[in-house]
Every structure is written in structure tokens, then in C-alpha cells.
Amino acid sequence: MKTTSDSLRCRTTTTTGRISGNASPACFSRSQSFSRDIGHAASETYLMSRLAFTLLRYLGLGRRWMLRLLALLLYAMLLMPGFLRVVYQFCVSSQVRRSIIYGDQPRNRLDLYLPNNIDSPKPVVIFVTGGAWIIGYKAWGALLGLQLAQRDIIVASIDYRNFPQGTISDMVEDVSQGISFVCKNISEYGGDPNRIYLMGQSAGAHISSCALFQQAIKEFKGDSISWSISQIKAYFGLSGVYHLPNLIEHFERRGLHRSIFLSIMEGEESLKQFSPEMFVEDPSVKNAFSILPRIILFHGTEDFTIPPHASITFVETLKRIGVPADLILYKGKTHTDLFVQDPLRGGKDELFDYIVDYIHAGDVDALAKVAMAPPRKRLCPELLLKLAGIVSPF
């Protein structure tokens, strides 16, 4: 426990900013770390603001986009009580390692969420957030990371370049590099390099599945690799996109203009290359996918942003070529219910509980800890959650 004198020593500095004789080196180290976090947060805020203005030049200010922007702002305002509590936990928790550098690009950062007690190597989830390939950000995984860490699971939430800073090949490259970093270094943080799970949500499910399946092709061809499919125990895809040509017109109707979408995907000729459902049936590489881990897809039946048919047909295709795959549909759930509203609601959550039980399957001690863990707290009033569901632009 920190005493009053400890607190005073933490605040004792000279006017030049150097530590005085009474200052604690540990306190100064924490202060430096906090200052670095604040500085990095400021630089990232500037970067995201600059990219947002660049994006507006691409999109213009048409009526449809203005209405969706207003709906998004209202949606965020309604859920703000919950978001603020998550932000507070993210900022003050000693179990979060923020903005760890995994590569050379400005967005090559990841956040680590660690259990309170790492008494043995823990399983790891590498999480790739969504955001329509445009507004993805590692902090969107904060709630999932904090809650899984409470269930004895380490989470690495990967940031990556978004459009227009990068296009789809840049995003896949960043995510693959992040996976490589985790596979090589997670043991230093108490993670088990032999129990790593890959998970993506929405656009993040698309990007991470491309990284996984393209890695299988590299290994099949004997190319140089920095991580191995064998290190990934399962893939969890939440509300994802796996066949791009099938959804171009749908996204156009939802407000993502065809020209913008094709710019993100590097042109119509590249759609197959970045559509896992299509390239897994390429006869020249079909045998590459026999080494894939189990693929488990989750989708809400009332998801109008990415229809559940996207996951249904992908699982059917995977089974047809012999890849172990499962599909779990959640009746009445929308695109954001499974990832935002339900976690903010607290208590029992079918998707969350399934993932925890799957990861800890066979580990009696871990399952016993999970059974004794306190229920997840409600972070947002039910009325606000229901209203947010009504106005959601997703």
C-alpha cells in the first residue's frame, strides 16, 4: 500500500523537472510512463483527426453520409456512460500495456490486457477490431480485452493502417506482422505461445481471415514466414465479410460508395485475392488449407450491415473443402449487439461465455477460476442500450 509519504515523494521534483533527493525512482518511472502514454495518445488523436478530414474529402458531404454521421454521434452519446467507464478502466488499470510497438508504420501498435495473477502461462487472444476498413482502432477492443483478462485470458488488440492511410494489402500486412510479434514475444508477458487464438470483428474479421488464409498459402508454397499456422489454435470470426463481390451493391446501399470500396480493396481485379471464400476454392492452392485450425464464425440474424448469409456461405464452402468449421447464429442480434450492447449490458452473454469455455476447455483449474469469478457488471442503463439499438447506423 502506498503511504502518504510515498505520495509526497512522488510529487517532489525540482523546478527543472529532475528528481529531487527525496523522490522515489519507481514513482518517477511511473510518471515517465504515464507521460509517454499521454504523448502517444495525443499524437494518435492528431493522426486520426487528420485521416478523418482526408476521408471526408473522399466521401464528400452528401445527405446520406450526413445522416449516418448524425446517427453515429447520437448512438455514441447514448452509450457514453458505458464508454466512459471502459475508458477509465483502460487508462488506470495496471493490467493494461498500452501501445506496444510491433512494426515500423505509425499505426503498428497493440494493447495487451493481462490477468491480475499470472501464476502460469495463460492462453492468448489476438483481436483485430472492425471499423469499415476506415475507422478501425485498437482501443475498440478495450471492453473485450478487460473482460477476457478477468477470465484468465490475455488479449492483444492490434491496430493497423486504415483507409486512406493504407489499402487492404497494407492492413493485412500490418495484422500479419502483429500476429508474428505476439507469437514471438507473448511469453515475456506470461502468455502461452502454444495456446494462441485469432479473433476478428466485422472488417477486422475480414482482414484477420485474409492474414490467416494467406499465411497458409505461404507455408504451402514454402515461402519465408515469421509465424506459423500451427501456433493458432482456433479462429473466431464475428460478423465478418468473406466474399467481397457479393457485398459491393449491399455496401453501396448502406452508404459505402462503390468507388471508395474498390479504392480500399485496390480495384475490382483484387477482389478475389482478398475474398477468402473465393480463393480457398482455387485448385492450385486448395491443399494449403488442410493445416488451418478450426474456424468458428458468429453472426446475428438481424445484422443488416453485413448479412448473416456472409458467414453461412463461408462455413459451407470451408466444410466442402474439408476445413473444420462451425457457425453459431444469434437470433434477433444486430451488427453491434454482439460486440457493443451485450457486453455493456453485463451479466450472462452467450458469445462471451462460449469463447471463454472454448479457450479453457480441458483446463480444470482455469474453469474453476472462471466459475468463481464475479458476474460482469452492467456498464450502461438498459433504456440507453435499447435507444442506441434503435438509432444505430450499423
- 202 catalytic, yes or no? yes
Would 31 be classed as within a structural domain?
Answer: no
What is the pLDDT, as a whole number, of residue 312? Answer: 98
- Domains: count for the chain: 1
Helix (H, G, I), strand (E, B) or coil at 341: helix
Cα–Cα distances (Å) from 192 to 60, 110, 185, 232, in that order, read: 47, 18, 10, 11
**pLDDT tens across 38-57, in order?**
565 566 556 555 555 555 55
Angstrom distance (rounded) from CA 106 to CA 109:
8
Residue 61 within any structural domain of the chain? no
Predicted confidence band at 20 (pLDDT cuts at 50, 70, 90)?
very low
The arithmetic mean of pLDDT across residues 142-155, rounded, is 95
Give 160-201 pLDDT, tens digit per residue.
Answer: 999 989 999 999 999 999 999 999 999 999 999 999 999 999
Residue 86: alpha-carbon gap to chain centroid: 15
Catalytic residue among 202, 208, 209, 239: 202
Three cell numbers, residue 285: 492452392
Nearest CA to 47 out of 99, 111, 102 is that of 99
91 burial type by CB count under 10 A (0-12 exposed, 13-18 middle, 19+ buried)? middle
CATH code at position 224: 3.40.50.1820
List, for residues 52-64, the tens digit of each pLDDT value.
555 555 555 566 6
Instruction: Tell me which residue range forms the domain holding 202.
Output: 78-391
The one-letter amino acid at 5: S
Residue 119 a catalytic site member: no
- Which residue among the candidates 111, 152, 159, 303 is catalytic per the annotation? 303
In a domain, 32, yes or no: no
Measured from the Cβ of residue 201, the count of other Cβ atoms closer than 10 Å reads 27
Extract the C-alpha cell encoding 112: 495487451
| Averaged pLDDT, 271-296 | 93
- pLDDT, mean of residues 78-102: 94
Answer whether residue 262 is part of any domain. yes
Which single residue is written with the C-alpha cell 512522488? 10
Is 303 among the residues known to form the active site?
yes
* Predicted TM-score (pTM) of this structure: 0.86
Candidates 206, 243, 299, 335; catalytic one = 335
